[in-house]
């Protein structure tokens, strides 16, 4: 069973299309901050486009962990359409080419960081982007959620110029796979969306991980997360002293 989360008005055949709001394409209407009400006991795959940034920050790791626990051993998770804040900031500071208008000004920044919530009308809160992302943030989230193997990718939206590679995505599995296998699997899966959600010839990979399953689970356990937080605080103190 394949799930398309946060489908909006984009229907995917052979997927169960789910959104928090009923549209002309939804098969199910669910709040996806949690996957507790998702039908079925296991899943072959989870896909989303321009969805994950709409979840509440405190729900992100729990959402990813719940998806991992639902996936079959051969299953996968592929989310895309996450605005890359680092590239957005670079484009703004360099006064690069805009998506709307000739210059990447604050209007363009707002378009990516907030998602035009005004367009949502009475549902503006659902439309609002509630998180910012870069490669390091996605890496931390997937590690904390216990994924042993994943790759992080970037790409250009169809019709945009090559320098506007502002979108990130990730492809993860519940069992260990080599980086080359993950990259090949991600490319093969995303190929069906060429010209719709991405220009496939702009696809590049920016981050990866491949660990034994038991090591990934240990890192994502409560003691493992606590140790990582202590190490992070220590690193911050050292940086302030430097």
Would you tell me the crossing angle of helices 60-70 and 135-144 to the nearest 10 degrees?
Answer: 60
pLDDT at 171: 98
- For 148-204, how does the pLDDT look when each residue is reduced to its tens digit (9 = 90+)? 999 999 999 999 999 999 999 999 999 999 999 999 999 999 999 999 999 999 999
Residue 176 is predicted with a pLDDT of 93
Torsion of CA 212, 217, 219, 225, to 10 degrees: 170
Tokens encoding 108: 């363009």
Task: Please write the tens of the pLDDT for every residue from 9-60.
Answer: 999 999 999 999 999 999 999 999 989 899 888 999 999 999 999 999 999 9
What is the per-residue pLDDT for 217?
Answer: 64
For 179, counting Cβ atoms within 10 Å of its Cβ (0-12 exposed, 13-18 middle, 19+ buried), the class is middle
Q: What mean pLDDT is predicted for residues 219-239?
A: 59
Is residue 53 classed as helix, strand or coil in its secondary structure? helix
Q: What is the pLDDT of residues 103-153, one digit of tens each?
A: 999 999 999 999 877 776 677 888 899 999 999 999 999 999 999 999 999
Residue 46 pairs in a beta bridge with 3, 77
User: pTM for this structure?
Assistant: 0.88
Question: Tens digits of per-residue pLDDT, 56-83?
Answer: 999 999 999 999 999 999 999 999 999 9
């Amino acid at each position: 069973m394949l799930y398309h989360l946060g489908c909006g008005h984009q229907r995917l055949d052979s997927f169960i299309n789910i959104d928090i709001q009923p549209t002309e394409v939804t098969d199910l209407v669910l709040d996806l901050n949690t996957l507790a009400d998702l039908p079925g006991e296991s899943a072959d795959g989870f896909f989303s486009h321009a969805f994950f940034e709409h979840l509440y920050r405190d729900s992100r790791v729990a959402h990813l962990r719940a998806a991992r626990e639902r996936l079959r051993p051969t299953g996968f998770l592929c989310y895309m359409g996450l605005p890359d804040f680092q590239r957005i900031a670079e484009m703004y500071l360099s006064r690069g080419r805009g998506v709307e208008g000739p210059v990447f000004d604050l209007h363009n920044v707002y378009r990516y960081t907030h998602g035009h919530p005004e367009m949502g009308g009475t549902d503006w809160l659902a439309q609002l982007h509630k998180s910012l992302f870069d490669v390091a943030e996605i890496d931390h989230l997937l590690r904390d959620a216990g994924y042993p193997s994943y790759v992080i990718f970037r790409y250009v939206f169809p019709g945009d110029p090559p320098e506007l590679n502002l979108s990130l995505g990730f492809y993860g599995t519940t069992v260990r796979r080599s980086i080359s296998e993950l990259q090949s699997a991600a490319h093969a899966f995303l190929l069906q969306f060429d010209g719709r959600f991405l220009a496939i010839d702009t696809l590049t990979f920016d981050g990866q991980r491949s660990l034994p399953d038991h090591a990934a689970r240990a890192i994502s356990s409560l003691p493992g997360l606590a140790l990582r937080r202590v190490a992070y605080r220590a690193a911050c103190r050292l940086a302030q002293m430097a």
